[in-house]
């Protein structure tokens, strides 16, 4: 979902984390080169966990199941369209058809997918950058309720 507020944009995004054999699946925009977790905008009236499953189906053409909630990332940045604030809801994703031994093909021409070692996020270019710090602990300790919110206001 995208909402305009006094000429500025607020985006609600749902993203998924799939880890297999110590690797995490990341998505790269072929045109701009930015790297992020697979997922996308939450449609009006759609639950964020459903948005994750829908976006993974659209991007990978594979059925996936949304698992546990991992955390929230908030960031502000200057987009091509102007100042933007993004709130990303991060969920675990189960996708049995994926194998960490090869990068899956994309169902969308502008995207490429790649497996990256979870302990090597620092050199992956993953955005928002706060995920590099937060994701490993969110993944390793799902019971920890502290520090589930990371963002540019911290």
Q: Domain-by-domain residue ranges, the chain?
A: 2-151
Q: Which of 38-42, 84-88, 142-146 has the lowest mean pLDDT?
A: 142-146
Spatial separation of the C-alpha atoms in residues 69 and 89, rounded to whole Å: 8
pLDDT of residue 23 exceeding 90, the answer is yes
pLDDT of residue 153 exceeding 80, the answer is no
Other beta carbons within 10 angstroms of residue 120's beta carbon come to 11
**Is the domain 2-151 a CATH 3.90.79.10 member?**
yes
Q: What is the mean pLDDT of residues 46-73?
A: 93
Other beta carbons within 10 angstroms of residue 5's beta carbon come to 9
Spatial separation of the C-alpha atoms in residues 122 and 19, rounded to whole Å: 16
End-to-end CA distance of the chain: 24
Cβ atoms of residues 35 and 127 within 8 Å? yes
Judge residue 106's burial from the number of C-beta atoms within 10 Å of its C-beta, 0-12 exposed, 13-18 middle, 19 or more buried. Answer: middle
Between 46 and 140, whose confidence is greater? Answer: 46
Spatial separation of the C-alpha atoms in residues 143 and 36, rounded to whole Å: 24
Confidence of residue 76 (pLDDT cuts 50, 70, 90): confident
The model's pTM is: 0.85
Judge residue 26's burial from the number of C-beta atoms within 10 Å of its C-beta, 0-12 exposed, 13-18 middle, 19 or more buried. Answer: buried
Please tell me the predicted confidence (pLDDT) of residue 145. Answer: 40
Please tell me the predicted confidence (pLDDT) of residue 154. Answer: 38
Please tell me the predicted confidence (pLDDT) of residue 142. Answer: 66
Please tell me the predicted confidence (pLDDT) of residue 36. Answer: 96
pLDDT of residue 104 exceeding 80, the answer is yes
């Amino acid at each position: 979902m995208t909402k305009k507020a006094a000429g500025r944009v607020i985006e609600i995004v749902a993203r998924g984390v799939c880890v297999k054999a110590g690797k995490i699946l990341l998505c790269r925009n072929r045109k701009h080169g930015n790297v992020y977790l697979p997922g996308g905008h939450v449609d009006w009236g759609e639950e964020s966990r459903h948005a994750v499953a829908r976006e993974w189906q659209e991007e990978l053409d594979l059925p996936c199941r949304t698992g546990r909630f991992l955390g929230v990332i908030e960031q502000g940045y200057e987009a091509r369209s102007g100042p933007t604030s993004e709130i990303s809801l991060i969920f675990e994703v189960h996708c049995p058809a994926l194998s960490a031994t090869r990068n899956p093909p994309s169902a969308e021409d502008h995207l490429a997918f790649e497996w990256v070692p979870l302990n090597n996020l620092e050199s992956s270019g993953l955005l928002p950058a706060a995920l590099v710090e937060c994701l490993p602990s969110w993944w390793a300790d799902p019971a920890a309720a502290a520090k589930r919110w990371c963002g540019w206001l911290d």
